[in-house]
Chain A
Amino acid sequence: MSEQAPVSPETAETDTDEQDGRAPDDGDTTQVETGAESVVAALENAGAETLFGVQGGAIMPVYDALYDSEELTHITMAHEQGASHAADAYGIVTGKPGVCLATSGPGATNLVTGLADANMDSDPVIALTGQVPTNFVGNDAFQETDTVGVTQPVTKHSYFADSADTVGDDVGEAFALAAEGRQGPTLVDLPKDVTQGETDVQPSPAEGPDTYEPPTTADPDNVETAAQALADSEKPVILAGGGVVKAEASEELRAFAKEYEIPVITTMPGIGSFPEDHELSLEWAGMHGTGYANMAITNTDCMLAIGTRFDDRLTGGVETFAPDAELIHVDIDPAEISKNIEADHPLVGDAKHVIDQVHEAMPAAPDADEWREQCQTWKDEYPLEYDTPDDEPLKPQYVVERFSELADDDAVVTTGVGQHQMWASQYWTFTEPRTWVSSHGLGTMGYGVPSAIGAKIGAPDQEVVCFDGDGSFLMTVQELSVAVRENLDITYVVLNNEAVGMVRQWQDGFYEGRRMASEYPWIPEFDKLAEAFGARGFRLEDYDRVDDVIEAAREYDGPAVIDAIIDPAENVYPMVPSGGDNGLFALNGDQLDDI
């Protein structure tokens, strides 16, 4: 198995100390005496540094073993859902599995949303859950839940540890599995008698399961025909998905796209893989993607799609998705090939290697001057823009755009889910991978507050900004207590329209304006709420205060919350209705009525 180099290139750059050094890095590793100590030793061996969790009865032996660990730092979260999202964000910004812990029963079920989220977005996460002692399992004991049964559908794999001698290996395997191949969440369920049980078996170096062998390079014959198809194309595009970021393949992508001058579109998870300020960038496509990206993706004759699963929010109706395009699909997961969109040239492998393979196999540059010109024309015809009339409330787009200007180039942006998420992704200019942290596939409202915590701990030297909506913010606001306690320098911006804005937008567009349960008759003042938590609070209502308030919040050393009171009438455009034709996106309400 040793020649199957573990495919975790995403970790290759982020961690300077030896990568394959999953083995203990020093000789004085203490001899384990219990299952719990073996769990902790396995995490240390695997290179874990930070854990996000919440205490509880069945997980207490593991916490007790953590008491003696010098290598592992534990962040106590307010709620287990927060722990799972923080671990997820940590995984996104570092490329290494984020670790979350919870007790049995409700602790474990509270993690499920975060695991499902990580599963949809292929984020590396490992969850460790306490469980009732083995002899109680199946008896409906206090705080017992079939955690493996509940989580198996939303993880790469869930393990049930059944012995103190092997529990460390289970944890090591789960850690390695989360990181290798197509990344994703794993879970190890830890019965209390197993963690309390005596053992003298040291955990082995972390190694993925012998049944899981992710491919690295793609079939050379397929690479050759794919490169030929791309070279023959007159309207080529590259569609860069989250897999490019996960595989640390942004450099390869940039080198390839720039050399052959192929316009680049990203998916939402692919944001940051290609600099949005480069002339070849068309930014991102899909339901609320740019008009130019959706025009290009609809009219291309050859698409090199890398690390994307062709989610329905990207494709719209598949019947009208890139219908003229010969599709070259690069993915590390063979099951993604032709799952939603048939691939003419399947290239199964790790994006980092496969992009280089295609690069080397290119027989010539595509003759695409006219197409590039066309793409520029679309950029002129469909710019992202908004009005800022003085007599109307603040526009959310302006707040995002100003912050993007004022923030550091490598600032990390996290979000909740809803209109604010779309504005943040549309109007922030992303230039680096791992700077966009969001909940895409699962669309988890409440992801914002805890994800910013995980992101800040994963990238302590980078500025972290979280755009949230008032609805999303209220779902996980308790995690603000963690940001304060840990003194994390995070700027939260609540784009506050006193509504679940995206739902309201759909009600106005598709339900004849019947606004059922989408508007809040009363919500807290978030600046004051922030102060109550011990954070700094700011209220922002006027255009001429935007820069000052942003700067003041940025300068505050600790978590700050800007309650930005925005125009409640503002909606997200462009928009492709669900299942619609990407090329027929609506730029405004009138066009939406027409399509």
Chain B
Amino acid sequence: MTQGMDGPHPDDRMRPAGRRNSQGIRIDPEAEATHEPRKAVLSTLVKHEPGVLAEVSGLFSRRQFNIESLTVGATSDDDIARMTIVIEEPEPGVVQAKKQLRKLVPVISVEELEPEAVQRELILIKVSGEKPDDVNAVADMYDGNVVDASPEAITVELTGSQQKIDAAVEAFDQFDVKEVVRTGAAAVERGGTTLMDERAETIESTAPAESPQTATDD
């Protein structure tokens, strides 16, 4: 038995000409453009209170944003912590991640850093203690320091950009690497630019002009 109602068949109906891609963006049906994933560094001020880290990491996992690293640390203000989050997403995902992050109640400000921002990681590499001189030489090459040494193992500390750290890890591979401990990125904008507490901005913007400007902002 046929269910439902009568009416024109789907094949006999008016049809639109266009199409969207899977991200809901109108496209030329002939040229399917896709967004390549890119790396974005999000510097975020959050209220320094219990549960914030869980809230932020929960957001990223449930919305399937791809986190490369996430570091949390204190700021000069005891009530505020900074999270530096490196994600890799196509452009719409980056935009969406920033907006969703900003919606969390303990999140004060979210800023994506410029690609040329200063980014540093710290790494501790523990290798076999058999060739102390060779280990020292490689450590020197990467401005690293031997921070612990024993007949069994030597531990080297290094800081630098992600690329430098990657290269160092590769160089140390020739020794018997026992353990690698890596922090995520800490990052800060070059020049005088700083990440503002948006709450403070709002208070200022309601006051008449003459707010102090940082001159070094480029």
Contact = CB atoms under 8 A, between A and B. Distances in A.
A536 interface: no
Interface in A370-389: 374, 381-386
Contacts of A587: 4-7
B1 A569 contact: yes
Given A211-B199, A299-B14, A323-B20, A381 B8 contact: yes
Contacts of B51: 148-149, 152, 160
Interface in A401-459: none
B96 A318 contact: no
A583 B16 contact: yes
Contacts of A575: 4
Contact of B99 (A324, A334, A374): A334
B7 A341 contact: no
Contacts of B104: 157
A325 B18 CA distance: 9
A526 interface: no
A584 B10 contact: yes
Interface stretch (B23-31, B70-78, B141-149): B23-31
B24 A299 contact: no
B9 A594 contact: yes
B3 A318 contact: no
Contact of A338 (B24, B202, B206): B24
B13 A588 contact: no
Nearest to A392: B1
Contact of A335 (B6, B10, B26, B103): B103
Contacts of B1: 569, 589
A160 B49 CA distance: 11
Nearest to B107: A211
Given A295-B13, A323-B20, A594-B10, A342 B5 contact: no
A335 B9 CA distance: 38
Nearest to B206: A3
Contact of B24 (A210, A212, A341): A341
Interface in B100-124: 100, 102-108
Interface stretch (B54-62, B132-140, B151-159, B167-175): B54-62
A129 B1 CA distance: 52
A203 B6 CA distance: 62
B24 A318 contact: yes
Interface in A201-225: 209-213
Contacts of B199: 210-211
B50 interface: yes
Interface residues of A, number: 63
Interface string A184-200: 00000000000000000
A385 B4 CA distance: 8
A584 B13 contact: yes
A588 B21 contact: no
B18 A324 contact: yes
B163 interface: no
A212 B105 contact: yes
Given A323-B18, A333-B103, A335-B103, A595 B3 contact: no
Contact of A320 (B19, B47, B206): B19
B2 A177 contact: no
B5 A324 contact: no
Given A384-B5, A569-B1, A571-B3, A177 B16 contact: no
Nearest to B46: A211
A463 B164 CA distance: 71
A46 B203 CA distance: 25
Contacts of B24: 310, 315, 318, 321, 338, 340-342
Contacts of A319: 19-22
A153 interface: yes
A77 B5 CA distance: 42
B92 interface: yes
B25 A342 contact: yes
A49 B133 CA distance: 77
Nearest to B8: A381
Contacts of A318: 20, 22-24
A152 B54 contact: yes
B58 A299 contact: no
A340 B93 CA distance: 11
Given A211-B107, A299-B16, A333-B103, A586 B10 contact: yes
A383 B6 CA distance: 9
Given A338-B96, A339-B96, A589-B2, 15 more contacts: A149-B51, A152-B55, A156-B105, A210-B199, A211-B106, A298-B16, A322-B16, A324-B17, A335-B96, A341-B20, A569-B3, A570-B3, A571-B3, A587-B7, A588-B5
29 contacts: A149-B54, A156-B105, A157-B104, A211-B47, A211-B106, A213-B202, A299-B16, A310-B24, A315-B24, A322-B16, A324-B18, A335-B96, A335-B99, A337-B99, A338-B95, A339-B96, A341-B20, A342-B20, A342-B24, A342-B26, A381-B8, A383-B5, A573-B5, A574-B5, A584-B13, A586-B10, A587-B4, A587-B6, A591-B4
